[in-house]
C-alpha cells in the first residue's frame, strides 16, 4: 500500500489531509515537528512526503536536505503556494 508522510505543524490541516488520503486508501504518517521527521522516515520510509517549510525544530528546507542525504534515489520536488 502507498504511504504518505504529512509534515505540518498546523494540526487541523495535517489531520484533514490525513482524512482525505486515508479515504483514498492511502496510509498516512503525520509528523508535526521538523526534528522528528528523520526518525519516522527511517522507521517507515514513505512513498511521498508532503512537507511544510515553516516547522518547529527544523525548518522544511533543512528537513528536505536531510531526506535527500538519507534517500539519494528519492525524487524531490518543491513548489510555492500560488505559483
- Domains of the chain are 3-70 (3.40.50.2300)
Instruction: Answer for the pair 39, 71: CB distance below 8 angstroms, yes or no.
Output: no
Lookup: cell for 64: 528536505
Q: How far apart are CA 18 and CA 77, in angstroms?
A: 20
Question: Is the per-residue pLDDT at 72 higher than 90?
Answer: no
Q: What is the pLDDT of residues 16-62, one digit of tens each?
A: 999 999 999 999 999 999 999 999 999 999 999 999 999 999 999 99
Sign of CA dihedral 60, 61, 67, 70: negative
Residue 75 has a pLDDT of 73
- Residue, of 53 and 82, whose pLDDT is higher: 53
Q: How far apart are CA 65 and CA 76, in angstroms?
A: 10
Amino acid at each position: 500500500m502507498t504511504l504518505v508522510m504529512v509534515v505540518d505543524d498546523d494540526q487541523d490541516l495535517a489531520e484533514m489531509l490525513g482524512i482525505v488520503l486515508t479515504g483514498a486508501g492511502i496510509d498516512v504518517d503525520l509528523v508535526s515537528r521538523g526534528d522528528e521527521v528523520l526518525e519516522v522516515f527511517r522507521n517507515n520510509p514513505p512513498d511521498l512526503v508532503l512537507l511544510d517549510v515553516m516547522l518547529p525544530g527544523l525548518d522544511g528546507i533543512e528537513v528536505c536536505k536531510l531526506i535527500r542525504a538519507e534517500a539519494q534515489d528519492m525524487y524531490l520536488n518543491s513548489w510555492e503556494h500560488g505559483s
